[in-house]
Chain A
Amino acid sequence: MKRYALCFLAGFSAVYAEAPMPETPPAAVPEIAPVGVEKYGKRASDVLAQYAPTVASAHLSTVRVFNKATSKQVAMATVVSASGYLISKASELENADIEVLFAKSSVCPAGLRMGAKIVDTCRAFDLALLKVEASGLNPAVFMDCPPPVPGTFLTAADTEELPLAFGVASVNARSLDDSNKGFLGVMLRSTDDGLKIGMVTEKSAAADAGLKVNDIVLKVNGRIVATVDEFIHTVGSCKPTERVQLQIKRADELKDVDAILRARGDFPQAMQRFEDPRNSMSGALSSHRTGFPAALQHDLFLKPAECGGPLTDLDGHIVGINIAHSGRTESLAIPSASLAILLKTVESGKFFHPEIEELQKSKSNLEEEMKRLDEMEARIKAQVDEIAKKLQALVGE
């Protein structure tokens, strides 16, 4: 266990190598309290207080969500409509009876607590739309503005004046949607013999194709793959349902195998096994932490139950909603521009599902196309009739 008390940080290509995965959870290492970090670290109380003005407005829209039965906080939420709608992190709500606690005030110093119902969910963003029987709430404002650039200072609001945490935008906002990336379902390790399969994911394309542990993968679609990265890139750039040809070596025998890929997004558990286990050694990660169609990566250290609340910039603008603590170094927020779209129809108690509009659009496009084709058919038919008439006239003579 000791070797995990302190880890050097050379990356795992071993991300894909199953060998170095610890048998015992590294978080069990006895912790020696850091001396000095309370005074000089970024979370020193005097530093945190400096960020309070940045959430002066946002904290009024911030809500804590509790499991009614256990009284445990399961998530944060954000007020999105004065008429009682809130959004929160769907996967943390555990389908349980929930209760929400609004920001503290002088009227209600302990904060206001009431039951809430889940009225809609958006699986892609892992968002739940909650309804409380109240009106006149302080909704958060999501502006359709460019997401913050790396290095921008960010603050996570709490239900109190003092923020939860602050940090910086780490990366430009990007899509983590992997529903359109091919997934074969093998864990590979770079060995002297080549890329050796260390594990085959159940019900995956690899399992269907009969790939086995210890097979060596030589070629993908006729091209030699030398490194794990190359393999991931080649397979990941193929689409789900696409057929890939693999050349493998099993006990010194060369074999050609065809596999029909499935989507990476359908195997979240398998993808999580590829993560560096050190990501969770400093605190639990959100169980749903990838696949978001748009996400802003930042370095605020949040607990899973602290996701769902607003994230602001120094001007106090809400730039997103925290949606996952996704690694030791990272958390993710849904950018405000995406939220603005999702919440277009909030007053009707539904998320706006852009695919509805897209489907409606393609339906009307196709209908128009059909109409055009019908008209064309009619015109052509008229022409044919005309020619036939002329022909008849000539032949008839």
Chain B
Amino acid sequence: MNPLNFRLLPLLLVATLGFSSAVFAEANLDALREREKKVQDLVTRVMPAIVCITNSQGSGTGSGVVINKEGLILTAGHVTQATGKDLEIIFPDGKRTKATALGANYGCDTGLAKINEPGEWPFAEMGDSNKLALGDWLVAMGHSGGFNADRKPPVRLGRVWKRDPEGGIFSDCTLIGGDSGGPLFDLQGKVVGINSSINASADHNRHIAVDTFLGDWEDLMASKVWGDLRMSGNDFKRPKLGLTFDNEVHEGGAKIIGITENTPTAKLGFKEGDIITKFENTPINNNWSLMRELSDCKIGQTIKIEVKRGEETVGFEVELLSREGKNKQQLAEDHPREKRRRKNADADPAAPEPPSGPRPYFGAALENAADGAEVKEITPDSPAAKAGLKSGDILKAIDDKPTPDAIGAAGLIRPHQPGDKISLTIKRGSEELKIELTLDKK
């Protein structure tokens, strides 16, 4: 590289820099400055109302937000489930007080609590989550990782990118342990949601809309606790169609924007752009109403669906699928016991079904390794632990019958009764050992 040439670069860089329209850029910046001012102002205003919720043992911590001067707190159902009824509340400035958990709906993950001591508590106002539109800007806060005297609850910015029929608001305001129960604000500084859950995508942060609280308000105030703590929006048991939709209303239906490959649904003849208008006999208005119908159904159920394709109306019969996009038959085939049976059957067509009755208990997880079955986690106090097996041991044979893989090893253990002694040949490092193990019952 010749340094002389390089010296010219910066000047040219500056000269050639610039945007298609400087005026447009300035207008954008003004909009950003206005939004920034709103965020900075709301953060100062609501900060004192964001509380850390824990108990006297400090076991499990979450967040909450005070919503009136009497000290009523909105939080997530799973926070008060973890802490129990008697709560310790810590304000961002370190002030501590006691509170009592009121009601919770675990199904929606909503929960209420109330500060015991009378007083004028700092609070943030509740807003209207029904008014939130996709793309609206939000601020999430909470005592991430528990109360930290070195800093106030961190501020996170994001947008609504999805809603679900169970009251979920999905945003890209990132959350982490300890944020649960903390508030989600609109840019007016009103509480529109409560932090609930995350998954592996950084974009996937689910908050419960405050309107979900209002629907159950009297029961929550009356300290009723009900529902199952499951992640409604991502319920593993909730069936899928194998189709994806956008969130807009299309001529009174849900528009298919994708068909999941390699699923039974993909063979039925749906086309991208088809608009679902009927689910069984219920008219469908948009993606949400379709999801609501789906949440009442079961995997394996067959559903009549009507779609509009241009001027035509086309009917389909769809078997509802699992989260992984499998139908009932495929799920049955995937069941470990079924796989074992098939494997045994391959080896010996006359092999009977594995015997039922008391099953022998071994107490260690096995995984396929290059030269046998590798011992993974060992349950404390189990037969495997008592026999002195170690994680990382390679199981070569059981009762001198070789165990080429994990399934093979399990197949040799299963026919035994609890109380039977088996002899294991294992490789530990470069050594080969023989160990005797007494099977137990689970």
What residues make up the interface of A, taking CB atoms closer than 8 Å to B? 2, 4-15, 23, 26-27, 29, 31, 34-37, 39-43, 50-54, 56, 60, 102-103, 105-108, 112, 114, 133-138, 149-153, 161, 167-172, 174, 190, 226-230, 233, 276, 278-279, 281-283, 297, 299, 301, 314, 327-330
Contact = CB atoms under 8 A, between A and B. Distances in A.
Given A9-B198, A35-B246, A329-B154, A152 B178 contact: no
A105 B16 CA distance: 8
Interface in B13-30: 13-14, 16-17, 19, 25-26, 28-29
Given A105-B16, A112-B9, A190-B58, A5 B160 contact: no
Nearest to A34: B203
A318 to B, nearest CB: 16
A135 B59 contact: no
A7 B198 CA distance: 6
B158 A329 contact: no
A72 B439 CA distance: 52
Contacts of B214: none
Contacts of B13: 60, 103, 105-107, 138
Interface residues of B, number: 93
A51 B6 contact: no
Contacts of B62: 9-11
B377 interface: yes
21 contacts: A6-B234, A13-B57, A36-B134, A37-B162, A39-B135, A40-B159, A41-B159, A42-B158, A52-B19, A60-B17, A150-B155, A151-B36, A153-B157, A168-B157, A227-B57, A283-B202, A297-B154, A314-B32, A327-B144, A328-B198, A329-B144
A24 to B, nearest CB: 10
Interface stretch (B145-153, B274-282, B347-355): B145-153
B430 interface: no
Interface in B191-213: 195-204
A5 B234 contact: yes
Nearest to A56: B17
Contact of B246 (A36, A133, A226): A36
Nearest to A106: B16
A8 B197 contact: yes
Given A134-B6, A172-B151, 13 more contacts: A9-B175, A9-B176, A9-B177, A9-B178, A11-B61, A11-B146, A11-B177, A13-B57, A106-B16, A107-B13, A149-B40, A169-B155, A327-B144
B264 interface: no
Nearest to A26: B200
B161 interface: yes
Contacts, number: 283
Nearest to A23: B377
Interface stretch (B75-83, B116-124, B265-273, B305-313): B75-83
A264 to B, nearest CB: 13
B180 A9 contact: yes
Given A150-B152, A174-B151, A229-B146, A37 B157 contact: no
Contact of B28 (A8, A50, A172): A50
Contacts of B413: none
A9 B58 contact: no
Contact of A281 (B19, B200, B234): B200
Nearest to A4: B200
Contacts of B203: 34, 37, 41, 43
B110 interface: no
Given A36-B134, A50-B32, A171-B152, A135 B6 contact: yes
Contacts of B26: 53
B40 A226 contact: no
Greatest chain A CB density within 10 A among B43, B159, B177, B247 is at B177
Nearest to A297: B154
B86 to A, nearest CB: 14
Contact of A40 (B61, B135, B236): B135
Contacts of A283: 202
B161 A34 contact: yes
B262 to A, nearest CB: 14
Contact of B10 (A60, A150, A168): A60
A348 B160 CA distance: 50
B199 A10 contact: no
A147 to B, nearest CB: 13
Contact of B54 (A4, A13, A53, A152): A13
Given A6-B198, A10-B62, A34-B162, A107 B176 contact: no
B361 interface: no
Interface string B225-238: 00001010010100
A230 B58 contact: yes
B39 A151 contact: yes
Given A37-B162, A152-B40, A278-B177, A136 B6 contact: yes
Contacts of B175: 9, 328-329
Nearest to A84: B3
Given A150-B40, A297-B151, A10 B195 contact: no
Contacts of A5: 199-200, 234, 236
Nearest to A149: B40
Nearest to B244: A35
A228 to B, nearest CB: 5
Given A40-B135, A53-B25, A190 B59 contact: yes
B195 A9 contact: yes
Residue among B31, B151, B197 with max Cβ neighbours from chain A (10 Å): B151
Contact of A31 (B28, B151, B200, B234): B200
A124 to B, nearest CB: 18
Nearest to A9: B180
10 closest A-B pairs by beta carbon, nearest first, are: A11-B178, A227-B58, A9-B180, A136-B7, A170-B154, A151-B40, A282-B202, A40-B161, A11-B61, A151-B43
B129 interface: no
A102 B377 CA distance: 49
B221 to A, nearest CB: 22
A314 B152 CA distance: 23
Contact of A133 (B3, B36, B231): B3
B179 A9 contact: yes
Contacts of A29: 199-200
Given A15-B145, A226-B57, A281-B200, A138 B10 contact: yes
A188 B243 CA distance: 47
Contact of B176 (A39, A136, A276): A276
A29 B173 CA distance: 21
